[in-house]
Structure 1
Amino acid sequence: MSRQTPSGDGSGSGTSRVREAPSAERDRRSRLGAAIDRVTSPRAVPVLLGTVLLAYFVVPFVAFFGQVGSVDVVAGLSEPATRQAIRTSLVTAPIATAIATVFGVPLAYVLSRGSFRGKRLVEAAVLLPLVVPPIVGGVMLLTVLGRYTPIGAAAAALGIPLTGSRAGVILAQTFVAAPFLVVTARAGFDGVDERLEEAARTLGYGPIETVWHVSLPLARNAIAAGIVLTFVRALGEFGATMMVAYNPRTMPTRIEVVRISKGLDAIVPIALALLAIAVVVVGLVQFRLGAPRRW
């Protein structure tokens, strides 16, 4: 005798609820598992630690911009001394960057590809300006380029004083900023497969042609990053510049003068201009190089 299955609205809805309950429970567990996976992901700890440092970078900028509304930026930038400092920085920093590029990229390639006695000493010499305090670096430059040194006296006799002039500013900026270009460009050359250069040689390219057509294009992103770092560092250089060429004023030295004479609020206009120039340069280079790859 067969058993009849109950039918009707009540039995139908009961069966539906029985079927929906496990499905809802599975969905809840799936969402919970996904949340746990995100928390326990290998990226979670780096992201958390990186976020803390990023917040430490961003908060001072936010606090700084919070003071902009209470300061007359236009009036501050209209001061003749401030405009002169901006012009000096915009002239000297690109020249220092160009000098660092012309001499630094070949040095970076030699350090990347060469193997010679004393290489470690050369590498250490490149890093020294990075570890020496900028003021100490300025004092070192004065012992070589000062007005009463042989080099400084000869340059002054030719009408090109190396201290208290734009030339002095450029020399100080180059000393402090050029190592950034050498280190970054060398990392770029290190990432170029030497077999590609060897293949270019087999196709008849000479050493210079190989570097120009193979090595430089493949390392261009790193070189461009080094150029940006060098320019921004030269633009913001204060310690060595103050020692070698306190006059003419650059933007950083002008900021220090204004801070001493008028207080912190008075430096907001020129500091804002310095920050704007740096952001524009970095933004243009990032746009030119394209968006970074996803992690």
Structure 2
Amino acid sequence: MSRAERNRNGEPSETNAGASRFDAGLEWLPTGLAVPALLGSVLLAYFVVPFAIFLSRTRDVDVLAALADPTVRDAIGTSLVTAPISTAIATVFGVPLAYVLSRASFRGKRLVEALVLLPLVVPPIVGGVMLLTVVGRYTPIGAAAAALGMPLTGSRAGIVLAQTFVAAPFLVVTARAGFDGVDPRLEEAARTLGYGRLRTVRSVSLPLARNAIAAGIVLTFVRAIGEFGATMMVAYSPRTMPTQIRVSFIASGIDAIVPIALALLAIAVVVVLAVQLLIGTPRRH
């Protein structure tokens, strides 16, 4: 019996058998997602490989001894103080702005949306220069703050200003997407039950958009704690972790930055996991 005849009698050909084995290997994927998963895995590998190779260098570095260095500890402490403050400021002012952009129509809305996105498209170091023209030591605002003993450059206040400038747009954009996903009819139903606008937002809109807001908080915090360009321009000292990484790299090379980079990575991972545990993640129904 020929190969073709064997195939017609129900035995799979080599081509069909190979396809079957490929499909069997991807049975855990929903139908039709094999090709997207294959393409996405290429990008995922591009993310993972540098991490893996970088982490392999920890075998040659005394991480604990390096983290005990006072300059490294000061940089970690500065970042752990300023990044949460920047994130809190972005949340307090960004969530209301996101809600207004989602629900209101007004003249100049397109301009406001563009201004929100501006810090995302401007290089961070340029953003730092722009901030210096407003809060620099010789500007009216900067001089007044310095006269009151609260300098806005070369201080933790300057770091917060720089971090907020570059990171807050992530919260506004993400939170707005969450509010856009809330059916306005649900808010209208709450209003018919006697809820005021603020109570409706607090009881209906915020809970329904909480996952997007949580994602925005995470993105904002991670962006703030990793900010270098604008921070370097506004407040090179006290050093944050990214600034210290730059200084250590110039002085001693890659091995010198491994410990503080690991600390930065660990903090980001802990924050992401904490927010997921507290807020939860979206579920498919």
Say yes or no: TM over 0.5.
Answer: yes
Q: Determine helix, strand or coil for the equivalent of 1:67.
A: helix
Q: 2:268 aligns with which of 251, 275, 278?
A: 278
The answer to whether the Cα contact below 8 Å between 2:211 and 2:281 also exists between their aligned partners in 1 is no
Letter in 2 for 1:275: L
Q: 1:267 aligns with which of 257, 270, 276?
A: 257
In 2, Cα distance between equivalents of 1:147 and 1:250: 20
Aligned twin of 2:126: 136
Within the alignment, does 1:162 sit opposite 2:152 as a pair?
yes
Letter in 2 for 1:168: G
Aligned twin of 2:239: 249
Aligned twin of 2:174: 184
The answer to whether the Cα contact below 8 Å between 2:84 and 2:221 also exists between their aligned partners in 1 is yes
Superposition map of 1:204-223 within 5 A: 204-223=194-213
In 1, Cα distance between equivalents of 2:281 and 2:88: 25
* Alpha-carbon shift at residue 75 of structure 1 (Å): 1.1
Aligned twin of 1:230: 220
Sort the Cα spacing of 1:281 and 1:120 in 2 relative to 1 into closer, same or farther, 3 A. Answer: same
Q: Determine helix, strand or coil for the equivalent of 2:154.
A: coil
Aligned twin of 2:3: none
Within the alignment, does 1:113 sit opposite 2:113 as a pair?
no
Gaps of 5+ in 1: 1-21
Within the alignment, does 1:48 sit opposite 2:42 as a pair?
no
* Alpha-carbon shift at residue 185 of structure 1 (Å): 0.1
In 1, Cα distance between equivalents of 2:18 and 2:125: 56
* Alpha-carbon shift at residue 35 of structure 1 (Å): 4.6
In 2, Cα distance between equivalents of 1:55 and 1:36: 20
- Highest Rg: 1 or 2? 1
TM-score, with length taken from structure 1: 0.87
In 2, Cα distance between equivalents of 1:215 and 1:106: 11
The answer to whether the Cα contact below 8 Å between 2:78 and 2:156 also exists between their aligned partners in 1 is yes
* Alpha-carbon shift at residue 140 of structure 1 (Å): 0.3
* Alpha-carbon shift at residue 166 of structure 1 (Å): 0.2
In 2, Cα distance between equivalents of 1:143 and 1:217: 39
Single out whichever of 118-127 and 44-53 deviates more from structure 2: 44-53
Letter in 2 for 1:136: V
Single out whichever of 49-58 and 283-292 deviates more from structure 2: 283-292
In 2, Cα distance between equivalents of 1:157 and 1:292: 49
In 1, Cα distance between equivalents of 2:225 and 2:119: 16
In 1, Cα distance between equivalents of 2:11 and 2:184: 53
The answer to whether the Cα contact below 8 Å between 2:211 and 2:280 also exists between their aligned partners in 1 is no
Q: How many residues align?
A: 272
* Alpha-carbon shift at residue 262 of structure 1 (Å): 1.1
* Alpha-carbon shift at residue 266 of structure 1 (Å): 0.5
In 2, Cα distance between equivalents of 1:294 and 1:213: 22
Superposition map of 1:40-79 within 5 A: 42-79=32-69
* Residues 185-234 of structure 1 deviation map (CA, whole Å, 9 limit, x = unaligned): 00000000000000000000000000000000000000000000000000
Gaps of 5+ in 2: 1-5
In 2, Cα distance between equivalents of 1:59 and 1:42: 27
Q: Determine helix, strand or coil for the equivalent of 1:117.
A: coil
* Alpha-carbon shift at residue 156 of structure 1 (Å): 0.6
Single out whichever of 59-68 and 34-43 deviates more from structure 2: 34-43
Structure 1 segments (4+ residues) deviating >2 Å? 25-42, 286-295
* Residues 58-112 of structure 1 deviation map (CA, whole Å, 9 limit, x = unaligned): 0010001110010010111010000000000000000000000000000000000
Letter in 1 for 2:62: D
In 1, Cα distance between equivalents of 2:183 and 2:57: 50
* Alpha-carbon shift at residue 291 of structure 1 (Å): 5.3
In 2, Cα distance between equivalents of 1:292 and 1:193: 16
* Residues 107-154 of structure 1 deviation map (CA, whole Å, 9 limit, x = unaligned): 000000000000000000000000000000000000000000001001
Letter in 1 for 2:271: V
The answer to whether the Cα contact below 8 Å between 2:210 and 2:279 also exists between their aligned partners in 1 is no
Letter in 2 for 1:63: I
